[in-house]
């Protein structure tokens, strides 16, 4: 029975799992979004969000605690400068997980995990449909804004998938040119 066992071991030992999550957190902090499996993304959220919360308090102690988890000076500097400034007024929920479908090789469920405040496409659409002039709430307004948000997320996902596919296409083009020579 599984009663009370809340840790997803991800099929790894403790040391391997902690190294995996540390490396993924560093990648998330440096590139602001990464593509991984859904299970790893959910575990990464549990690992990275407390570190982001700790970065709001910029003291030597909190920097050392975060460094003990990440083991990367550049990532710690990035976290305590740019990221902590953007999430200063947010009370949690710093990451967003968007499901992408399944991977071709092993049919694993894939997801995009990103830092919420660093997606300019969604930030611009949220600012336009804020509804600041309304004094009353209605159900009609909610449906429109949620549909717009879903469309914006879909567009962002398509852009990310296109960005990831572009380097692969360029590599194929260069290999075809070499064959022709």
What span, in angstroms and rounded, lies between the C-alpha atoms of 42 and 168?
A: 27
| The pLDDT of residue 54 is above 80 | yes
- Of the chain, the percentage scoring pLDDT greater than 90 comes to 62
β partners of residue 95: 115
Structural domains in the chain, CATH included, are 14-121 (3.90.1030.10)
- Of the chain, the percentage scoring pLDDT greater than 70 comes to 69
Residue 173 pLDDT? 60
DSSP calls for the chain: --TT-----TTS-HHHHHHHHHHHHHHHHHHSEEEEEHHHHHHHHHHHHHHHHHHTS--HHHHHHHHHHH--HHHHHHIIIIIHHHTTT--S--EEEEEEEE-TTT-PEEEEEEEGGG-HHHHHHHHHT--TT--S--HHHHHHHHHHHHHHHHHHHHHHHHHHHHHHHHHHHHHHHHHH-
| The pLDDT of residue 22 is above 70 | yes
Name the band, by pLDDT with cuts 50, 70 and 90, for residue 155: confident
| The pLDDT of residue 103 is above 70 | yes
SS (H, E, C) 30-63: HHCEEEEEHHHHHHHHHHHHHHHHHHCCCCHHHH
For residue 84 the two structure tokens come to 């902590």
pTM: 0.68
Residue 26 pLDDT? 97
| The pLDDT of residue 85 is above 60 | yes
- Cβ count near 39 (within 10 Å): 14
Q: 28-42, 88-102, 134-148: lowest mean pLDDT where? A: 134-148
Nearest C-alpha neighbor of 69 from the set 112, 109, 23, 110: 23
* Mean pLDDT of the 26-45 span: 97
What span, in angstroms and rounded, lies between the C-alpha atoms of 115 and 26?
A: 12
| The pLDDT of residue 124 is above 80 | no
Residue 25 pLDDT? 97
* Mean pLDDT of the 109-120 span: 93
| The pLDDT of residue 145 is above 60 | no
């Amino acid at each position: 029975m599984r009663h009370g066992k809340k840790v997803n071991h991800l099929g790894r030992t403790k040391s391997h799992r902690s190294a995996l999550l540390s490396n993924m957190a560093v990648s998330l902090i440096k590139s602001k979004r990464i593509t991984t499996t859904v299970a790893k993304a959910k575990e990464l959220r549990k690992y990275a969000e407390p570190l982001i919360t700790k970065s709001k308090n910029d003291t030597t102690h909190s920097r050392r605690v975060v460094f003990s988890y990440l083991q990367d000076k550049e990532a710690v500097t990035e976290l305590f400068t740019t990221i902590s400034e953007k999430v200063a007024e947010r009370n949690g929920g710093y990451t967003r997980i968007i499901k992408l479908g399944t991977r071709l090789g092993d049919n694993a469920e894939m997801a995009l995990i990103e830092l919420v405040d660093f997606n300019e496409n969604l930030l611009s659409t949220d600012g336009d449909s804020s509804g600041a002039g309304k004094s009353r709430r209605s159900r009609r307004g909610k449906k429109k804004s949620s549909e717009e948000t879903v469309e914006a997320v879909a567009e962002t996902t398509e852009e990310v998938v296109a960005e990831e596919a572009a380097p692969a296409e360029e590599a194929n083009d260069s290999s075809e040119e070499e064959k022709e020579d």
